[in-house]
Structure 1
Amino acid sequence: MGALVIDIMSYEAGELEARETLELFGVLIKSGMAWTLQGSYGRTANELMHMGYLTTDGELTEFAEEMLGEMAAA
């Protein structure tokens, strides 16, 4: 749980890379915490799912993997 709190604090401070942010929201979706934290977390989780980066189960999609690969190559 401690690492999750650190990840949330890093997200709030704008210190996470794109992959880390998607992985964090994946964990929050899987655990259900995305819907119990302040509203912006649920809205962001919904947006990431709507945009096709995360599944409703909190898994990264192929689209997200492709996008992250392209970012790494640039």
Structure 2
Amino acid sequence: EQDSYGGGYDLKQSFVGMMADVHMWDHTLSPCEIHKYVDGLNFTPGNVLNWGALEFQITGKVIVEDKEAEMLNF
């Protein structure tokens, strides 16, 4: 993560862990929308951040796994 616009990256501050299905909306979700998301039902992806449409660059020692593979190993 950058501490300032255009700033560099500090390897000691890098994320270590697992992340999946990150979405962000520009409004508060209704309880029904939250239940659909948590239950894995048809929901409206985030309109600010949509995990499925996210473009990213992998750098360093990163393993990308399919969500189903993660669920089977959990």
Does the alignment reach a TM-score above 0.5?
Answer: no
TM-score (norm 2): 0.25
Higher helix share: 1
Of Structure 1 and Structure 2, the greater strand share is in 2
TM-score scaled to structure 1, two decimals?
0.25
